[in-house]
Amino acid sequence: MYRLQNNRLLPLLTAMADSAPPSSSMDAYKSLGLVPNPDGSLTRRSLFPSVPAADTAVAFSKDVPLNPATGTFLRLYRPRVVPPNTKIPLVLHFHGGGFVLFSVSTMPFHESSSSIAAKIPALVLSLEYRLAPEHRLPAAYEDAVEAVMWVRSQAAAGVGGESWLREYADFSNCYLMGSSAGGNMVYHAGVRLLDADLGGVKIQGLIMNEAYFGGMERTESELRLADDKILPLPANDLLWSLALPEGADRDQEYSNPMASGSHQEKIGRLQKCLVRGYGGDPLVDRQRKFAEMVEARGVHVVTKFVDGGHHGVEIFDPSQAEALYNDVKDFIDSTPSTSRSTM
């Protein structure tokens, strides 16, 4: 089984649920572990520890610089067991956190990337992107595009490239994957890359798990789950106010993909999409509408909406994490690439 290796997260979720106040009396900054600083930056007090790149029972990992000027980097994960004489898919992964929280080194995301690498099997490249409000959107999208262009440079580098990619990556079989804010990044990076020259890199699919979308008009699921213990409305609204450009509201295209924007004419050209969500997530109505919108434009969309659960449930529940990994593996295995190359 490939699952989160720290089951101590389960009682943490229970404690969160027991202690969270109703939304009407909530201090949204406090609920998210955020302290605003006078200069507009944030002090972040994460519930989860950070871990360095380290080998696990199922995968190896290491950090590779992306852009020293912006402080971005990639954490690479290689499965311990790679099928012989075979190149394996490459998954560029974007972590969640409302564009404001967390890192590739946040323990649940580190362990999840390691497990995904082993389960598929694939090379997983997890992006350490810039966070808001210090770097408001579209900074995270720009970092995502830069990461893809780095992969392009590796595909062209030959013997001079990064050793794991040179030895194991099937550059013709690449995927963008993310959960929550990372799912939002998959969409926005995907449309930005449609007209880019990717050289030997071929993006075969987009994987969006519980994608973080918003809008000014409340949905039924947002109203029904206004006091959600993981993503209550005040915390959700605060995250968007910190992430969006100054002066923008939640109907700005970065938040609301149904709104008019600069990429509307490109949507129908997107690659095959996997859109997942949970019935207990306040954002599930937006995720369903997004899937319907993209499919209506002619995109091949695979949907998987699970009853129950909640936003980020796979962080806390190993069985839900396993279900996510299985869905990702099935999606990749069922997506034909231009070549299933051998070494």
Catalytic annotation, residues: 180, 281, 311
- Cα pseudo-dihedral 101, 106, 92, 329, rounded to 10: -120
From CA 249, how far away is CA 119, in angstroms rounded? 39
How much of the chain is helix, strand and coil, in % rounded to 5? 35, 20, 45
> Using N-to-C axis directions, what is the helix angle for 181-193 and 139-157, rounded to 10°?
60
Return the number of other C-beta atoms located less than 10 Å from residue 21's C-beta: 13
Q: Which residue has the tokens 């610089």?
A: 65
Q: Which stretch of DSSP H or E encloses residue 43?
A: strand 42-44
Output the DSSP codes for 141-154: HHHHHHHHHHHHHH
- DSSP, res 265: G
Give per-residue burial for 144-153: e unless 16+ CB within 10 Å, then b.
Answer: bbbbbbbbbe
Output the DSSP codes for 48-93: S-B--S---SSEEEEEEEEETTTTEEEEEEEESS--TT--EEEEEE
Return the number of other C-beta atoms located less than 10 Å from residue 220's C-beta: 10
Return the number of other C-beta atoms located less than 10 Å from residue 57's C-beta: 10
CB half-sphere exposure, 240, CA atoms < 13 A: 22
- Cβ atoms of 271 and 205 within 8 Å: the answer is yes
From CA 37, how far away is CA 31, in angstroms rounded? 16
